[in-house]
Amino acid sequence: MDAQFWHDRWQSSRIGFHQQQVNDHLRRCWQQLGVAAQSEVLVPLCGKSLDMHWLAERGHPVAGFELSPLAVHDFFREAGVAPLQQSLHHFQCWQARGISLYQGDFFQAESLARCFDAAYDRAALIALPEAWRRSYAGLLARLLRPGAAMLLVTLDYAPVQHEAPPFAVNEAEVYRLFGDDFDIELLGRLEEGDSHPLVASGERAFFDELCFALRRKT
């Protein structure tokens, strides 16, 4: 997916991935990661996710990375706050209430020369075509300090589609991508079954959400 694909999605408000509520896996599983309250949480490909407010309310500074200026603008406008803005290397950085949104290409994040103790990925890995996922996993391994924890939420469904996100990223692929640099534990599999419209209509045989805890190896 090139940048224009995502700019078009935001421009035309085709943002079905955006959740009006805090993600269930985040609520249920975050505590198990044992991330210290003051640890900053990296949120790659963050959109305007409300999950970032949830993390900030728990005392975590948040560093989100998002391509779309519209998403960043909406995030702060909908929260009713006026962020401070500055240019930082390849990014425009918008900050308010302990949340910093770096607007630009996440794959340039190393230009900031920063590392993090925790990360949260919901609908980021599965937004990337297969050819980009290894670079993404490698970048996260470099941005996270040894011992850092990451909560990763992916989708597994069949038959898979290759044309447009969300892409299926199953358990075996998570181990292939992250296994060299991270210890991995599958925390849960939410089997949506017939409650998912694509399963009910017969378009998909199954449609599951997977939640993993990753720990950066020392």
Binding positions for S-adenosyl-L-methionine are 10, 45, 66, 122
Q: Are 128 and 134 in contact (CB under 8 A)?
A: no
Residue 122 or residue 194: which is nearer to ligand SAM going by CB? 122
Distances (CA, A) of 125 to 45, 56, 108, 194: 9, 22, 16, 25
30 touching ligand SAM, by CB under 6 A: no
**Helix%, strand%, coil% for the chain, nearest 5:** 35, 30, 35
Tell me the closest approach of the beta carbon of residue 194 to ligand SAM, in angstroms.
Answer: 24
Query: For residue 115, with 0-12 CB atoms within 10 Å meaning exposed, 13-18 middle and 19 or more buried, which class applies?
Result: middle
Instruction: Give the nearest distance from C-beta 218 to ligand SAM in angstroms.
Output: 28
Alpha helix stretches (DSSP H) within 12-110 = 24-29, 51-57, 69-79
Q: Which one of 49, 91, 99, 152 is in contact with ligand SAM (CB under 6 A)?
A: 49
Sites for ligand SAM among residues 141-170 (CB under 6 A): 165
Residues 54-113 that bind ligand SAM (CB under 6 A): 65-68, 71, 105-107
- Cβ contact 125:165 at 8 Å: no
Smallest distance, ligand SAM to C-beta of residue 209, A: 12
- Nearest approach, Cβ of 16 to ligand SAM (angstroms)? 9
How far is it, in rounded angstroms, from Cα 168 to Cα 144? Answer: 24
26 versus 33: smaller Cβ distance to ligand SAM: 26
- Which residues are near ligand SAM by CB under 6 A? 6, 17-18, 45-47, 49, 65-68, 71, 105-107, 122-124, 127, 165
